[in-house]
Amino acid sequence: MGRYVHRLMIIVLALFGVLLAPQDALCQRKRDRSKDKENDSLKQIVVDYTLSDSDKERVQSGIKLANYYLNENDVQCVEQANATIKIATKSKMNTEVGELYGIIGSYYYNNKNYKKAATAWESGYSILKKNNLAIPRAQICYQLGQCHQKLKNNRKARNYYDEAMTLAKKLGDRELMHTLTRSLCDIMLSDKNYKMAYEYLNAYFQEEKNKLGNQNAKLRNLNEEQEQIIEQKDSTIQEVVNQNYQLEMQRQQLKYDSAQLANVKRQQEDSLKLQMSENAKLQQENEFNRKIKIGFGIVLLLIGGVIYLILRNNRQKKRANTILQEKNHMISSQNEEIQRQNEEISKNLEEIAVKNKDITDSLTYAGTIQRAMLRDFEKHRSLMSDYFIFYAPKDIVSGDFYWAYKVGSKFVFTVGDCTGHSVPGAFMSMLGIALLNQIVAQQHVLQASQILEQMRIMVKQYLGQTGLDESEAPKDGMDMALCVWDLEVNNCNFAGAYNPMIMVRNGELKVFSAVKSPVGIHMRELPFEDQYVDLQKGDRLFLFSDGYSDQFSSVRHDKFKMSRFRQLLLESSRLPMSDQRNKLVDNYYAWKGDFIQIDDVCVLGVEI
């Protein structure tokens, strides 16, 4: 009987071993499947978050992703939560916003960054409190209490614990109340409030005692159920032994059947291999014959193609030779014509060069005459402290001119800018100088506006400008700035036709504007106006044409403009007159660069 029981126990233990061994492997496979299922679930959450059209669904997916990263302690938890908060805030999903701030706070709390955890939880707390959401607010108050307790800020921690306790009591959450009791006990101990600490600790232990009593009752119920299971176990063992015997018999039969099937399968495989070998040989023979036929056909095609190319090449060569002969004959005729034309062009170029030299020589001589007619300022140097002239014609002769003359105690000087430049402008400038000599030097007209008015009358008379309706009458004229300096009273009388006068005194610049009407015929002729200014020693007066300010730059492709010109005169007026002239000249050519000179330039500076 003892041996029988002993053998029976061995069989039962062996059976349990057989059943338990695969169970471990089964558990591992279940864990692997669970992990794969979790990965598939994560992928599905990411897809839902990315492709969902509904903000509510995207927020729910975002919360799941953030919780997943939180469980993995991955910093993407914070990034995902912040991105989801924007969507939830836009959709006014306040409960979800509070939950997301709670996730951010939990990540920072787990990584012991309590300050950032407190900031995140307090953001969530504000939103939940504002929207009167009690359940999540109770939990986030407890978390804020923990965080401030870690930061040694017991007062804030107690306030949050008290608020959480109030909410937990309203909600009937006994588990949270029990946890808060223990946390408040720790706060009281830290603040050395031992009386309150004892009360909280006593309440905590009372709750623990109640929980323990409930657990003991549950344990007694489990013991009773376990005794019932043991009673059923003995009857089950015999059934398991019988089933194991039947299974072993079936396994032996299955092993025999498998051996028979393997033998049949091996015979079929041998037969199949033999058939495949014969088919492969036959297929190789067919492939070889097919390749021979294809190769023979390709050779025939190549031979035919070569013959065709040779014949076509010969025809093309004959046609090309014929065309080449015709072109050679045409080129020969064209070369003869080109050579004849080149000889004619060379002859014309020689004639043009001779004429160009004659014209250039004539213009050079005209320029010499023009410069001789310009009044020499040097002989009036004793009247001024100093002066300079920057005179740069665009071509050999210029449409700009300057002029000066002294009559008694009055010194008249002017700068004129005639219509056009080069030869037309030079003729006009010579007319202007002649008129000034007649009006000032001979007739002794010494009021600036009257000088310009007399010149306008005489220009229209000499050029036949009787009215704007006469289309064939020339519209030439000149822009002028003219000064009459009374040497006795040291006073300047200025009048201008389009061109102003600039005065620099003690580092300040003043502009004397001109009348918007030329010396010549105009659609709206305005009377010239006199302007007077008392002069002081050291004052500098500047008269000029528009050639300087209208010059374009090769770098900036922009005009120099009057504003820059005025600033340049003001800044350079601290220098001696000769240095100021050099400054103006250097600046002009630096600005112009490689750009062509577009107009004549004349700048006259006089220092009182």
- Ranges of each domain in the chain: 36-213, 374-607
- Whole-number pLDDT of residue 206: 79
In this structure, of 208-212, 336-340, 557-561, the range with the lowest mean pLDDT score is 208-212
Instruction: Please determine, for residue 587, whether its predicted confidence score (pLDDT) is greater than 90.
Output: yes
For residue range 290-331, list pLDDT tens digits in order: 888 888 789 888 888 888 888 888 888 888 888 888 888 888
Q: 352 or 584: which carries more pLDDT confidence?
A: 584
Confidence of residue 390 (pLDDT cuts 50, 70, 90): very high
Q: Give CA–CA dist 416/398, Å, rounded.
A: 11
C-alpha 341, offset from chain centre: 60
Mean pLDDT on 369-386: 78
For residue range 139-189, list pLDDT tens digits in order: 889 888 889 888 888 888 888 888 888 888 888 888 888 888 888 888 888
Instruction: Please determine, for residue 245, whether its predicted confidence score (pLDDT) is greater than 50.
Output: yes
Instruction: Please determine, for residue 21, whether its predicted confidence score (pLDDT) is greater than 80.
Output: no
| Residue-averaged pLDDT of the chain | 82
For residue range 556-569, list pLDDT tens digits in order: 889 999 999 999 99
Locate all alpha helices (DSSP H) within 172-193, ordered by sequence: 174-190
Q: Cα angle at 211 between 208 and 216, to 5 degrees? A: 120
Mean pLDDT on 19-41: 52
Question: Two tokens at 62?
Answer: 């975002």
DSSP state of 498: B
Fill in the amino acid letter for 92: K
In this structure, of 352-356, 416-420, 538-542, 591-595, the range with the lowest mean pLDDT score is 352-356
Confidence of residue 236 (pLDDT cuts 50, 70, 90): low
Instruction: Please determine, for residue 10, whether its predicted confidence score (pLDDT) is greater than 50.
Output: no
Place of tokens 């930061």: 151
Highest-confidence segment of 286-290, 323-327, 439-443? 439-443
In this structure, of 42-46, 403-407, 435-439, 551-555, the range with the lowest mean pLDDT score is 42-46
Mean pLDDT on 420-443: 88
For residue range 503-527, list pLDDT tens digits in order: 999 999 999 999 999 999 888 889 9
DSSP state of 292: H
One CATH from 3.40.50.1970, 3.40.50.280, 3.40.50.800, 3.60.40.10 for 374-607: 3.60.40.10
CATH topology of domain 36-213: 1.25.40
Q: 395 or 497: which carries more pLDDT confidence?
A: 497
Confidence of residue 241 (pLDDT cuts 50, 70, 90): low
Mean pLDDT on 255-267: 73
Instruction: Please determine, for residue 350, whether its predicted confidence score (pLDDT) is greater than 80.
Output: no
SS (H, E, C) 3-68: HHHHHHHHHHHHHHHHHHHHHHHHHHHHHHHHHHHHHHHHHHHHHHHHHCCCHHHHHHHHHHHHHH
- Whole-number pLDDT of residue 351: 67
For residue range 215-231, list pLDDT tens digits in order: 767 767 766 766 666 56
Residue 317 half-sphere exposure toward CB, CA atoms < 13 A: 6
- Whole-number pLDDT of residue 367: 56
Confidence of residue 372 (pLDDT cuts 50, 70, 90): low
Closest CA to 480 of 504, 458, 448, 503: 448
Q: Are the beta carbons of 492 and 446 closer than 8 angstroms? A: no
- Whole-number pLDDT of residue 44: 65
Environment class of residue 214 by beta-carbon count within 10 Å: exposed (0-12), middle (13-18) or buried (19+)?
Answer: exposed
Q: 409 or 358: which carries more pLDDT confidence?
A: 409
Instruction: Please determine, for residue 536, whether its predicted confidence score (pLDDT) is greater than 60.
Output: yes
In this structure, of 236-245, 266-275, 558-567, the range with the lowest mean pLDDT score is 236-245
Q: Are the beta carbons of 401 and 519 closer than 8 angstroms? A: no
pLDDT over 90, % of the chain: 30
